[in-house]
Structure 1
Amino acid sequence: MLIKTVNGHTPEWGADCFIAENATIVGQVTMGNQCSVWFNAVLRGDVHFIKLGNKVNIQDGAVVHCTYQKSPTTIGNNVSIGHNAIVHGCTIKDNVLVGMGAIIMDDCVIESNSIIAAGAVVTKGTHVASGTVYAGMPAKKIKEVSPELSAGEIDRIANNYVTYSSWFK
């Protein structure tokens, strides 16, 4: 793993976290407990802060960044960021699934219990309401998150990544 101090800020993480050997975490990055940062993922807190809650997984190839002195990135608890997603200068609340290859741009707010579909592009400043699924380019609401979808996808994936990470520790 590449852990690098930038401008006096060194990444910090809580208990029971997994960071892959080729993950990159630099600068002002803090994460809670039971987080995982997977192969080739990048969390670059060089121009603003990145804050992750508990039980967040940043999957292979994902990039988390910010906008200089303007838009930090804050991610809540029980959040999955899918393979090759880009999360940039935005706020993601609790219990959210960001699908593979999705892009979330500056100043977006993704409310709790939401899903951003694979390949979706959430354009600058979009506010995703709690309990909704957004898909497309640009991303738009396509439906509500059912209890089955919440348990079957949001919770299942976040819990699975805690299990998967235990295999590597």
Structure 2
Amino acid sequence: MIDSTAFIARAAIVLGDVHLGRFASLWYNAVVRGDTERIVVGNETNIQDLSMVHADPGFPCLIGNRVTVGHRVILHGCTVEDDCLIGMGSILLNGVRVGRGSVVGAGAVLIEGTVVPPGSLVVGIPGRIVREVDEPMRERIDRTWRHYVALAETHRLGRFPTYSVTDGQAVSGRDLERTEGTGS
């Protein structure tokens, strides 16, 4: 089930048993493939460009509310609880569980069965807990998911900035459509 408020960018792929919550967003070239097991993306969660969400039989992929999944992340048969930030290029494998309010640093790899306690910062290959999430990080988690909820609405309405190939000036997506081919 895909909530009517969810944003799915052009070129994103969603198939199979996939549930997208209220104001969830799937960005350009993200793939959410529920062909072997259920995938749930919670309310106000964003799956950013080039990310892959998949699962194996017996290992559904469950992503909580207000989660940010950075660019080029792989989530495979794992659980990410509410209010987490999964950094760009991270890989989370089958059976991983990331506790509420945690941050997985960019490029980290969480091997099968890893359990991250709530409020932890995890980095490295294989991922290891280095400390607790502090207040500035909690604020960043909150600020980021809120930004993506607003940004999704902007993209839905076609009001995101684009750049003209000919002169490099920023124009709205609608203005660019009007001026293409006119030389102005």
Distance of 1:115 and 1:15 partners within structure 2: 29
Distance of 1:111 and 1:98 partners within structure 2: 12
Superposed, 1:113-132 pairs within 5 Å as 113-132=101-120
1:164 to 2:151 alignment:
yes
Q: SS of the residue aligned with 1:47?
A: strand
Task: String of CA shifts for 1:9-60, please: whole Å, max 9, x gaps.
Answer: xxx2113211011000000000110110000000000000001110010000
Match among 33, 38, 43 for residue 27 of structure 2? 38
Distance of 1:162 and 1:16 partners within structure 2: 10
1:103 to 2:91 alignment:
yes
TM-score by length of 1: 0.90
1:57 to 2:54 alignment:
no
1:89 to 2:89 alignment:
no
State the number of aligned residues: 156
Q: Which sections of structure 1, spanning at least 5 residues, go unmatched?
A: 1-11
1:80 to 2:71 alignment:
no
Q: Larger relative CO (CA 8 A, sep 6+): 1 or 2?
A: 1
User: 1:112 — aligned with what?
Assistant: 100
User: 1:5 — aligned with what?
Assistant: none
Distance of 1:93 and 1:73 partners within structure 2: 11
User: 1:18 — aligned with what?
Assistant: 7
Looking at CA atoms only, which structure, 1 or 2, has the larger radius of gyration? 2
Task: String of CA shifts for 1:55-84, please: whole Å, max 9, x gaps.
Answer: 0100000000001x2211001100011000
